[in-house]
Amino acid sequence: MRLLLSLIFLCCVLVIIQPVFSDDDKESKSPKEALQALNDYIGTWKGNGEPAARPANKDFWSETVTWKWKFKGNDAWLVMNVENGKHFKSAELRYLPDKQQYELRTVAKDGKKLVFLGELKDDFLILERTDPDKKETQRMKMNLAAEGARFIYRLERKPAQRTVFYPDFQVACTKEGESLGAEEKKVLCVVTGGLGKIPVTYKGQTYYVCCSGCKDAFEENPEKILKEFEARKAKK
């Protein structure tokens, strides 16, 4: 009797657990799908940076940040280039489906490569790494503001044996060609669904893409891109 009751209990547990695993599987995203949540990063941004600790005039700097898509086969990632940056020269932002995390691989001003891992929470991209030399945790936070017209990224540090992060520096950027509070007609990028700004043509029809990376992807296989674009529209 006990064996029968145990088998019945086990079957009930499996019936309950199975849908949970199925739902998790359904929620898994491809790199392109996960990175589409950051479509509004795409473009060129004029930024002003400042250190957190009582900056003097000489400590401020200006830099230009450019985000664009890159594609290779079924893989997709975002590339950030920083012109005249004080701390970083470039970065690659990827999504790791197996970990369900974002990975930011940065190239510092001195050429050192740093890797941050994290998640997108409440429209904030929050990524961390542990510095083995300084024995501290470094946290990168990125977000948009002013209805997408502002892009802000900042670095914070948490020394070993501490529980609080302390701000190191912040760069606040305004998107090139846009002004705060301005409204414009939104045209979708046929590759990613972001804001289309660059015209491309196929069979006499004009479409729009958001960056040079998407332009390259469209020109490489317009039939595939347009088929996927129509499929996305049909789901809405």
Structure tokens at 214: 């998407």
The burial of 157, by beta-carbon neighbours within 10 Å (0-12 exposed, 13-18 middle, 19 or more buried), is given as: middle
The per-residue pLDDT for 59 is 87
The per-residue pLDDT for 120 is 97
Beta-strand ranges (E) seen in the chain are 43-51, 61-72, 75-83, 88-96, 101-108, 113-121, 124-131, 136-145, 150-159, 166-175, 198-202, 205-209
| Residue-level pLDDT, tens digit, the chain, 236 residues | 454 445 444 445 444 444 443 444 446 899 999 999 999 999 999 999 999 877 677 789 999 999 999 999 989 999 999 999 999 999 999 999 999 999 999 999 999 999 999 999 999 999 999 999 999 999 999 999 998 999 999 999 999 989 999 999 999 999 997 655 555 567 999 999 999 999 999 999 999 999 999 999 999 999 999 999 999 888 86
Termini Cα distance of the chain: 54
Structure tokens at 213: 């990376």
Chain centroid, CA 138 distance in Å: 18
